[in-house]
Amino acid sequence: MLINCVAYQDGQKLADIPVEEISEYIEKPETFVWVALRDAQPDELAVMQQEFGLHELAVEDARRGHQRPKIEEYGDSLFVVVKTIECRDGDVVIGEVDMFVGDSYVLSSRDGHSQQGFLGVRARAEKEPHMLRLGPAFVLYALMDAVVDRYFPVLDMLETELEKIEELIFSQGKQRDNIQRLYELKRKVTIVRHVVSPLMEAVGRLHGGRVPAMCQDTQEYFRDVHDHLHRISASLDGIRDTIATAIQVNLSMVAIEESEVNKRLAAWAAIFAIVTAFAGLWGMNFKFMPELEWKYGYPMAVLVMVGVCLYLHRRFKKAGWL
């Protein structure tokens, strides 16, 4: 679905133009066309391929979707794939934005999983005509910067969730739930990392060293995007390390709780073992046994057993076993 199709000249907006006139505008000097699509259909991509002269391999990747974040060069043009990340109902949802960039055009196509559009990016860019004069490379930067900036709220959500779990680690009876939540959080971190790492590697090719000709004048801007991605990657590493530590602490708490239960069971077993030993001793059917004919024998035996049990219970209580 076509969102908008706008022509720009010397950093200024010329007009919203129909798709059929794209090829005419991109031939004008100091002019480029910025087209935005959502859930692009094969026939729409075919029209754009004809108007812009897009490489067939890049169009095929965009048609298939589910691409890894990357930047590929096709002659004087670039094909860029970035992943969007959004939080919905506490879960991480991944979307995709495909961008075709040439000397006189920018074509972006986002899938339906990404609910946040780029109208704000276009409006902000139009307010900076001195930046739009840099051409499609600046538009590429603006789009990538907007996508990467939307990673930070997701990162904050992951950190907040981790803090909530950490507060419950030492709560009794919460160990199983904590482990489940930690592994679920680890899964989310892994998803985000699979988005950030390849994109950081790809953006690194747009500043320093050999960079595409169209990006020569915008290297510092792409370096800024790369720095943001590096910060996010470092934070993800920190969260992942903290999760690993939290899991170990949680498992240690489980072991400690089991040890406490075992000590209690051992203490009660020792107490009942004494009762069993005395009862077994006095229950032997020998004719000549001390106290067998004594009328106070039974109360004395019960008193001895109760006294020993109370003594053991006190000692175990004092030792922290009960």
**Could you tell me the pLDDT band of residue 238, with boundaries at 50, 70 and 90?**
very high
In the block, which residue shows the tokens 């939307």? Answer: 150
The per-residue DSSP string of 246-259 comes to HHHHHHHHHHHHHH
pLDDT at 21: 85
Q: How far apart are alpha carbons 213 and 103 in whole angstroms? A: 9
Q: Quote the percentage of the chain above a pLDDT of 90.
A: 28
Given this model, what pLDDT does residue 190 score?
Answer: 92
**Tens digit of pLDDT for each residue in 64-97?**
888 899 999 988 889 999 999 988 877 888 989 9
- 259-319: CATH, from 3.40.50.150, 1.20.58.340, 3.40.50.880, 1.25.40.10: 1.20.58.340
Query: Domain spans of the chain?
Result: 2-253, 259-319
13-17, 72-76, 85-89, 169-173: the lowest-pLDDT one: 169-173
Long-range contacts of 178-185 (CB under 8 A, 24+ apart): 178/246, 178/250, 179/247, 179/250, 179/251, 182/243, 182/246, 182/247, 182/250, 183/247, 185/158, 185/161, 185/239, 185/243
What mean pLDDT comes out for the span 107-121?
Answer: 79
Identity (one letter) of the amino acid at 108?
Answer: S
**Which option is the CATH number for 2-253: 3.30.460.20, 3.40.640.10, 2.60.40.10, 3.30.1490.20?**
3.30.460.20
pLDDT at residue 3, rounded to an integer = 85
Beta-sheet strand order (sheet of 77-88): 12-16, 2-9, 31-38, 105-110, 91-102, 77-88, 70-74
Count other Cβ atoms within 10 Å, centred on residue 281: 10
State residue 293's pLDDT score.
Answer: 67
Instruction: Considering only residues 292 and 145, tell me which one the structure prediction assigns the higher pLDDT.
Output: 145
Least confident range of 33-47, 115-129, 248-262? 248-262
Q: How confident is the model at residue 146 (pLDDT cuts 50, 70, 90)?
A: very high
pTM attached to this predicted model? 0.79
Provide the sign of the torsion angle of the four alpha carbons 123, 124, 129, 132, taken in this order.
Answer: negative
Looking at residue 193, what is its pLDDT?
93
Least confident residue range of 80-89, 107-116, 146-155 = 107-116
Q: Do 45 and 63 contact (CB within 8 A), yes or no?
A: yes
The DSSP call for residue 278 is H
Give the CA distances from residue 239 to residues 89, 190, 247, in Å, rounded to whole numbers and listed in that order.
Answer: 21, 10, 12
Render pLDDT for 259-312 as a digit per residue (tens, 0 to 9): 767 777 777 777 777 777 777 766 666 565 666 666 666 677 777 777 777 877
Residue 2 in tokens: 């076509």
